[in-house]
Structure 1
Amino acid sequence: MAVTLRDVARLAGVSPGAVSQVLNGKPHRISPETCEQIRQAAAQLRYVPNQNAVTLVTGQSQAMGVVIPDIRNLFFAELVSGVEAVALEAGWNIVITSSSDKSALALANFRTLAARDVGAILLVPASDADETLAMEYRQAIRDYGRPVVQVDRIIPDLGVSLTAIHQRRGAKLAMEHLLDLGHRRVACVLGPTNTCAPRLSGVQEACAQRGIALRERDLYPGAYTMESGYAVADAILEGGYTAVFCFNDMMAYGFYKRCRERGISIPHDLSVMGFDGVLFSDYLEKPLSTVWQPARQLGVEAARQAFRELECPEEAGKCTLLEPQLQIRESTAPPAAGAVCQET
């Protein structure tokens, strides 16, 4: 049988109301000694609060909802770990939903979390959001009426706080690194149009400042998945390039796989650059040079912003931008004379 609040009260020798106040963080006029006595009784009995009861008492659930595009993507796993750390420190749980990078499902997930009365929602939009869906998001946010923080990706004019990373600056750093090594034929594996635009802009800026032509045929479609990096590898390997910049690490992993199958040596035959800096990128046979995004810190800052808004609604609407960092490893080097990739 589950331990109840009355069981804790009986062991501590206090009223159920006192237990409720202390365990919900509102010990009004209760002495520190009694508070500690109640907490020890709860720990001894391994008491877990009934979240429905907590919601009735406090007016909000002690859970934070998180909407992410792809639970398989290691970047979002790291982001969620940062959210979880902050939530657990506050005695909250998190409820994670994944939209398969589809805006209709992301919006449905948002509404489901709102209906469950979570105390706040952190939203990473899907990559196919358009103005029609943006209007629906705005209405859903108004109906929800509690803190919402947009994370990583941007839907303009949602009227909520934003926690993100300087994408353009990071991509410019990556392209400048390749150009500094002497690469002049660089292929780029893009992500979904709505989300990769800042990264492409950074690449274009770096090329323009060096007088390097970036042609339309140097841009290859990608979907931020390993499969999409693998799918374009053959075309790039036959295109006469000396380097490839994959717009996230997951696509670089797929590209690596095809290179191994074809006997292409990284970086001797072809330099490979990623973007995200997820954990596994440092554990590849040839550790991946990449732009590190502080994904975990992104989750930490987003969760902290949500809690600030719960305490003080006037804190809403803040914009926090974190800085990316270039991580140079073994997958990039100056172009080798007589590289195996020849233009066809």
Structure 2
Amino acid sequence: MTESAARPPHTAVTRKDVARYAGVSAAVVSYVVNRGPKNVSPATEARVREAISVLGYRPNAAARALKLGSSRLLGLVVPDTRNPFFTELAHAVEEEARALGYAVLMTNSDGTMDRERAHIRNLAARQVDGVLLASNLFDPDLGELQAASIPAVLLNTTRHAAGFATVGTDLRAGARAAVEHLIGHGHTSIALAMGSNVSGDTDGRELGWLDALAAAGLPEGPIVRSLFTRDGGYAAGKRLLASAGQPTAVFASSDMQAVGILRALNEAGVAVPGEMAMVSFDGSTDAEYCWPPLSTVKQPVREMAAAAVGALVGQRDPAGPAHIVIPSVLVVRRSCGCP
């Protein structure tokens, strides 16, 4: 092999150039790049890979996808990339997909249905191998994906969707465990800071809060509704402080809301957990590094990502689409009153 086989600078390197440099056929280069369908001896593969490295060859991804019938690309739609929970979920999805040889194209719907639909159309047009959707709705419209014969998995959902695999945790059971923990500390007036959703359906976390209070024979505490954001939590905290018969504990439906509530309480000089105990939901890294650290219901991010990616690429559930529910875990820290 000689350097004279290399092409001039700024000229696209082709598979034939690699073959000429390595002293093999173009078909052998294809076998190495695509890892099949025929085996290549280790010595020959080493020569081809050296040629690829020296020449700077980059396979045409679109042509390769057309030939193989697969883009090896998955689409991911999440409602808010600023939310640490969805950031951690996206990271886990990317890691699981990479282990199976797939790349992930992540998009952010910013909590709006118009943008969610636009992302779905765009991903369908790119002919991705599948879509993982953490929707703004409990029951989203997936007609465009069905029309394009692109499989989808609904991620971070509590309901089964006909024809699609769904993966999530039991919001209602997790919320009930959180509120029961606060009741165990002796609290009889427990507020709910509930995030708003596009569909207007009653969220499982609200139902779990109601379940725990009813089982203990306690009256419903005040409910403050706001966005699933730090700003939303801050506004909710201010409304809680202004409400008559201020509660002694609050269950926040997301860690981000809880962070905002903490700020409002701190500004008002309300001690946490001495004067107001708190448990939140999600189990993001932010919850661990607040002060005081937040007791939180941790969603099983890695397990959810593994189940969703596995279902999407056909590694699981050979009998057909299923609803996969992965239990959450109550992580106890200082904000609830525990040592």
Q: TM class by shorter-chain length?
A: 0.7 to 0.9
- In the alignment, is residue 332 of structure 1 matched against residue 329 of structure 2? no
- Which residue matches 1:190? 194
Structure 2 stretches lacking a partner, 5+ long: 1-9
The answer to whether the aligner puts 1:232 opposite 2:236 as a matched pair is yes
CA distance in 1, matches of 2:64, 2:303: 29
**For 2:158 and 2:114, how far apart are their aligned partners in 1?**
16
Alignment equivalent of 1:178, drawn from 177, 182, 193? 182
Aligned partner of residue 275 in structure 1, secondary structure: strand
Cα offset, 1:148, TM superposition: 0.8
Which amino acid in 2 is paired with 1:143? A
**1:285–1:157 CA distance, 2 compared to 1 (3 A):** closer
Q: Secondary structure at the match of 2:71?
A: coil
The aligned counterpart of 1:256 is 262
Q: CA RMSD of the aligned region, Å?
A: 2.4
| Distance across 2 between alignment mates of 1:300 and 1:46 | 34
Shift of 1:162: 0.7
Give the match's secondary structure for 2:77: strand
1:40 Cα shift?
A: 5.1
Percent identity for Structure 1 against Structure 2: 33
Instruction: Say which SS state the counterpart of residue 176 (structure 2) adopts.
Output: helix
Asked if structure 1 preserves the Cα contact closer than 8 Å seen for 2:169 and 2:328, the reply is yes
After superposition, the C-alpha distances for 1:178-229 in whole angstroms (9 at most, x for unaligned) are 00001111110112254762111212221221111215xx111122111111
Say which SS state the counterpart of residue 95 (structure 1) adopts. Answer: strand
Report whether the alignment pairs 1:49 with 2:23: no
2:136 to 108, 122, 126: 126
Q: From 71, 86, 89, give the equivalent of 1:76.
A: 86
Tell me how many residue pairs correspond in the alignment.
324
Q: 1:90 to 1:46 in 2, by over 3 A?
A: farther
CA distance in 1 between partners of 2:259 and 2:100 (Å): 36
Q: Where does structure 1 lack aligned partners over 5 or more consecutive residues?
A: 335-344
Displacement of 1:324 in angstroms is: 0.4
**Aligned match of 1:86:** 96
Q: Choose between structure 1 and 2: higher helix proportion.
A: 1
Whether 1:245 aligns to 2:258 is no
Match status 1:206 vs 2:212 = yes
Q: TM-score scaled to structure 1, two decimals?
A: 0.86
- How far apart, CA to CA, are the structure 2 residues paired with 1:333 and 1:153? 31
Q: Does 1:269 align with 2:275?
A: yes
- Asked if 1 retains the 8 angstrom alpha-carbon contact of 2:311 and 2:317, the reply is no
Alignment map for 1:153-164 (pairs within 5 Å) = 153=157, 157-164=161-168
**Cα deviation digits, residues 263-322 of structure 1 (max 9, x gap):** 22211121121100101211112111100112233223211221216xx99554122211
Is the 8 Å Cα contact of residues 121 and 147 (structure 1) preserved in structure 2?
yes
Range with bigger deviation, 65-74 or 47-56: 47-56
Shift in Å at residue 123 of structure 1?
A: 0.8
> For the pair shown, which has the larger CA radius of gyration, 1 or 2?
2
Residue of structure 2 equivalent to 1:219:
223
Looking at structure 1, the residues matched to 266 and 81 of structure 2 have their Cα atoms a distance apart, in angstroms, of 27
